[in-house]
Amino acid sequence: MKQKIYVVGIGPGAPKMMTPQARQALEESDVIAGYPVYLKLLGDLVQNKKTIATPMTREEERCRLCFEEAKKGCIASIVCSGDSGVYGMASLMYDLLPEYPGCELEIIPGITAAVSGAAVLGAPIGHDFCVISLSDRLTPWEIIEKRLSAAADGDFCIAIYNPSSKGRPDYLKRACEILLRKVCPERMCGYVRNIGREGTEYKICTLEQLKDEQVDMFTTVFIGNSQSHVVKGKLVTGRNYHINTHMQKEN
C-alpha cells in the first residue's frame, strides 16, 4: 500500500518556473495540501483532486493532515512556494515522520526566491551569499541580529526573506541599521516584489536608501557584498574577488 508524500517546491508561481519533476509529483497525487494562496497558483493542477488548505500559522496541522491522508494508502503532496526545503515544509515533515512509520517522504526541490529574485535584479549573488529570514515568529530576534552581523563580518551578499509584514513593518529598517554598523551606506542593494507573478517590480538602491524603503511580505531583498556594483541598471556581484581599495576602506 502506497503511503507516499511528496514535499514539493513549486517555484515562485509562474508555471514556466516549476520543474517537470514537481509537476509530475502533483499529477501523481491524490491529495494536495498547501497554504491557500499557493493552491490557487497551481490552477488546473489541483482540479479534481482533494485539497487541504490551512492558514499560514497552522503548518503543523497541515503537515499532519497530509500524513493522515497518506496513511489511507494514497499519494499526497504538500506544496511550498519557492523551494520545499528553504523555510519550507521539508524539515517539519521529517520531524513528524517518526510518528507515521508507514509513510515515505520525497523532497522535490524548487526555484527559491534568492535565485529567482537575483535573476530579476541582475546577478547579485554571483559570489558567496547568505539567506536570512527576518521573521521572528519561530526565531528569536537576537539570533537574527547575530546572523546579520556575522554576514556583514564575512562580506557575504545577503538575500533577505520575509523582510516585513503587517505586524512588523520596521524589521527591514532594523536589519539595515545593524548592517550599517559594519557596512558603508553606499553599499549597493536591491529588492524584488512579486517574483514570477503578475506585476513583478524591482529597485536598485544603496543600503542607506534601503533603510527607508517600504517593502511587503511578497518582497525579497538583496544586500550586495563589498564588490557589488551596478551595470546598466542591474545589480552585479562578480565571481572575481578583488581585494581593492573599496574593500580596505570598509574593513
Q: Could you tell me the smallest distance in angstroms from the CB atom of residue 137 to a second copy? A: 9
Q: Could you tell me the smallest distance in angstroms from the CB atom of residue 90 to a second copy? A: 4
When asked if residue 3 is in the footprint of a second copy (CB under 8 A), the reply is no
When asked if residue 78 is in the footprint of a second copy (CB under 8 A), the reply is no
Q: Between residues 59 and 69, which has the closer beta carbon with respect to a second copy?
A: 59
Q: Could you tell me the smallest distance in angstroms from the CB atom of residue 62 to a second copy? A: 13
DSSP string for residues in the chain:
---EEEEEE-BSS-GGGS-HHHHHHHHH-SEEEE-HHHHHHTGGGGTTSEEEE--TT-HHHHHHHHHHHHHTT-EEEEEESB-SSTTSSHHHHHHHGGGSTT-EEEEE----HHHHHHHHHEETTSSSEEEEE---SSS-HHHHHHHHHHHHHTT-EEEEES--BTTBTTHHHHHHHHHHTTS-TT-EEEEEESTTSTT-EEEEEEHHHHTT----TTEEEEE--TT-EEETTEEE--SS----HHHHHH-
Rounded to 5°, the CA angle 102-107-111 comes to 160
Q: Between residues 181 and 232, which has the closer beta carbon with respect to a second copy?
A: 232
When asked if residue 58 is in the footprint of a second copy (CB under 8 A), the reply is no
Nearest Cα residue to 84 out of 134, 10, 137, 14: 10
Q: Which of 15, 173, 184, 197 binds a second copy (CB under 8 A)?
A: 15
When asked if residue 69 is in the footprint of a second copy (CB under 8 A), the reply is no
Q: Cα separation of 132 and 134, whole Å?
A: 6
Q: Which stretch binds a second copy (CB under 8 A): 38-46, 49-57, 71-79, 143-151?
A: 143-151
When asked if residue 43 is in the footprint of a second copy (CB under 8 A), the reply is no
- Residue 159 phi/psi, 5° resolution? -105, 120
Locate 163 and state its grid cell.
523582510
Q: Which stretch binds a second copy (CB under 8 A): 17-25, 45-53, 69-77, 208-216?
A: 17-25
Q: Which stretch binds a second copy (CB under 8 A): 41-49, 71-79, 207-215, 240-248?
A: 240-248
Return the residues of window 151-170 that contact a second copy according to CB under 8 A.
151, 153-156
When asked if residue 10 is in the footprint of a second copy (CB under 8 A), the reply is no
Q: Could you tell me the smallest distance in angstroms from the CB atom of residue 21 to a second copy? A: 4
Binding mask 163-202 for a second copy (x = CB under 8 A): ----------------------------------------
Q: Could you tell me the smallest distance in angstroms from the CB atom of residue 237 to a second copy? A: 6
Binding mask 109-128 for a second copy (x = CB under 8 A): xxxx--xx-xxx-xxxxxxx
